[in-house]
């Protein structure tokens, strides 16, 4: 049995049963669908890649602790829409103790759930399944005095799964390192290929071409390819404007490798040479990024690192003449948010903004300490609106973010994305090689 599943079975205990659904295909328009993306919790536990499946995990069921409901084999459907594992494949290739066609789920539900104290199920994600579960619960409660004993406690499994997913195994780290390497190479290629007059879409193509050529399943999220003041729009994804001589280009792009996301941002000059003003802002962000990266280690907390990024960036804004006053006051009044309005990083894994709590359980306000096995991004930035009359004219329209992916270890951290430089001189050297 898969280690993740074994650990989950242990965590929920003998008096519980869990119902974990796969994702469904989502209609794009009329009869076409968006590219399918498996539900990360379901994928983490089962590794099963197909839509319309449900895992039922029942530790007290000695014979069948792991049942998979899947789309059955169907020659006609497979000719039109692709191969299926079917019930045979679910058992043979994914370790299910029992596999049944998905159509059987509803009629089997009472048999699987009755007699368990707790049901682990997350309401609010899969509307149709919610209705099926509610229908079962209300029906069984009605019959309770006679023969049926439905679970009386319903628990969201996300808490357990989030904690498990937060602490990566060695095998997961290996996949994340590969994901990071592919993304780092793609950013280097973007630097090497970028020329004034190109379109943002062409740089996107360079990056995503490399993702797929390297065995990744495409981008982990919509790539952000923002030239000039497009870089000041945090989630700019149109990626369709020409790149101008003298502008900066901000690229936030990572790939999905065997389900695991990488998430890298680099900012560099379209023509291969930073202007003095661009370099001044860049060096402020870089210095903060290096400090926050070093602070991503055991003994520090998520909040300490966030506060550090705010303090250092506020100092930097003062140095650049963007803000005036005492650092303490500027932080208290949240003045820094005019130029730095997002978090310094997030957990990374199967999701780009990965599962796991940012606060300790005991006291919601206690920020969580970093622990070995966590992977987080470090991504401070400064974004100076093009029409900001308060900012020195030379800085208007500059947007800079620098983002790496970091694994916390026993004695510090490993920067998984160190392969792509963020040193301004080295970036210029890469861009001008062979020019």
Give the interface with Mn ion as residue ranges (CB under 5 A). 252, 263, 377, 403
- Which entry of 379, 395, 404, 405 is annotated as an active-site residue? 379
Is residue 36 within the footprint of ligand GLY (CB under 6 A)? no
Phi, psi torsion values for 241, nearest 5 degrees = -110, 155
94 within 8 A of 68, measured Cβ to Cβ:
yes
379 catalytically annotated: yes
- Which entry of 353, 361, 425, 426 is annotated as an active-site residue? 353
31 catalytically annotated: yes
Is residue 379 within the footprint of ligand GLY (CB under 6 A)? yes
Q: Can you tell me which of 182, 285, 330, 352 binds ligand GLY, judged by CB under 6 A? A: 352
Chain positions 206 to 235 lying near ligand GLY, rule: CB under 6 A, are: 221
403 catalytically annotated: yes
**To the nearest whole angstrom, how small is the minimum distance from the Cβ of residue 209 to ligand GLY?**
19
Is residue 358 within the footprint of ligand GLY (CB under 6 A)? no
Question: Which residue, 40 or 72, is less far from ligand GLY as judged by CB?
Answer: 40
Give the angle 177-252-298 at the CA atoms, nearest 5°.
50
Q: Find which of ligand GLY, Mn ion, none residue 41 binds, CB within 5 to 8 Å per kind.
A: none
Q: Find which of Mn ion, ligand GLY, none residue 39 binds, CB within 5 to 8 Å per kind.
A: none
390 catalytically annotated: no
187 catalytically annotated: no
Tell me how far apart the alpha carbons of residues 208 and 192 are, in angstroms, rounded to a whole number.
15
Is residue 302 within the footprint of ligand GLY (CB under 6 A)? no
33 catalytically annotated: no
Is residue 351 within the footprint of ligand GLY (CB under 6 A)? no
Is residue 166 within the footprint of ligand GLY (CB under 6 A)? no
- Which entry of 235, 245, 423, 425 is annotated as an active-site residue? 235
Tell me how far apart the alpha carbons of residues 290 and 363 are, in angstroms, rounded to a whole number.
30
Q: Find which of ligand GLY, Mn ion, none residue 358 binds, CB within 5 to 8 Å per kind.
A: none
CA distance to 61, 222, 350, per residue, from 219 (Å): 40, 7, 13
* Binding letters toward ligand GLY, positions 232-271, x by CB under 6 A: --------------------x----------x--------
Q: Find which of Mn ion, ligand GLY, none residue 98 binds, CB within 5 to 8 Å per kind.
A: none
Question: Which residue, 85 or 403, is less far from ligand GLY as judged by CB?
Answer: 403
**To the nearest whole angstrom, how small is the minimum distance from the Cβ of residue 73 to ligand GLY?**
39
- Which entry of 351, 401, 404, 405 is annotated as an active-site residue? 401
252 catalytically annotated: yes
**To the nearest whole angstrom, how small is the minimum distance from the Cβ of residue 319 to ligand GLY?**
25
Residue numbers of the site for ligand GLY (CB under 6 A)?
A: 221, 252, 263, 346, 352, 379, 403
Active-site positions? 31, 235, 252, 263, 342, 346, 353, 379, 383, 401, 403
């Amino acid at each position: 049995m898969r280690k993740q599943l074994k650990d989950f079975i242990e965590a929920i205990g003998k008096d519980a049963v869990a119902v974990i659904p796969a994702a469904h295909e989502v209609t794009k328009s009329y009869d076409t669908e968006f590219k399918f993306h498996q539900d990360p919790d379901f994928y983490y536990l089962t590794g099963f890649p197909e839509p319309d499946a449900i895992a039922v995990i029942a530790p007290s069921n000695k014979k069948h602790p792991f049942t998979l409901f899947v789309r059955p084999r169907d020659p006609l459907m497979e000719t039109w829409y692709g191969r299926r594992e079917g019930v045979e494949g679910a058992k043979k290739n994914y370790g299910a103790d029992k596999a049944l066609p998905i159509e059987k789920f509803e009629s089997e539900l009472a048999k699987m759930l009755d007699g368990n104290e707790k049901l682990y199920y997350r309401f609010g994600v899969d509307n149709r399944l919610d209705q099926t579960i509610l229908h079962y619960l209300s029906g069984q409660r009605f019959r309770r005095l006679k023969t049926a004993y439905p679970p009386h406690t319903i628990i969201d499994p996300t808490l357990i799964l989030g904690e498990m997913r937060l602490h990566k195994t060695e095998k997961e780290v290996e996949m994340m390192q590969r994901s990071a390497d592919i993304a780092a190479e793609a950013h280097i290629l973007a630097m090497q290929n970028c020329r004034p007059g190109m379109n943002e879409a062409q740089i996107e193509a360079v990056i995503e071409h490399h993702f797929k050529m390297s065995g990744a399943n495409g981008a982990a999220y919509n790539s952000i390819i923002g030239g000039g003041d497009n870089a000041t729009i945090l989630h700019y994804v149109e990626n369709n404007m020409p790149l101008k001589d003298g502008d900066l280009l901000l690229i936030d792009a990572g790939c999905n490798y065997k389900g695991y996301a990488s998430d890298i941002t680099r900012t560099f000059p379209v023509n291969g040479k930073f202007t003095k003003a661009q370099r001044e802002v860049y060096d402020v962000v870089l210095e903060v990024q290096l400090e926050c990266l070093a602070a991503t280690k055991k003994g520090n907390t998520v909040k300490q690192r966030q506060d550090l990024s705010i303090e250092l960036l506020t100092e930097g804004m003062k140095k650049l003449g963007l803000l005036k006053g005492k650092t303490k006051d500027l932080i208290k009044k949240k003045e820094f948010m005019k130029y730095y309005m997002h978090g310094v990083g997030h957990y990374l894994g199967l999701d780009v903004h990965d599962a796991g709590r940012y606060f300790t359980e005991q006291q919601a306000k206690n920020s969580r300490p970093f622990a070995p096995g966590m992977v987080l991004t470090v991504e401070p930035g400064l974004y100076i609106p093009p029409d900001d009359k308060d900012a020195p004219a030379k800085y208007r329209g500059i947007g800079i973010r620098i983002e790496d992916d970091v694994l916390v270890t026993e004695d510090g951290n490993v920067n998984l994305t160190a392969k792509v430089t963020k040193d301004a001189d080295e970036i210029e050297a890469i861009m001008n090689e062979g020019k």
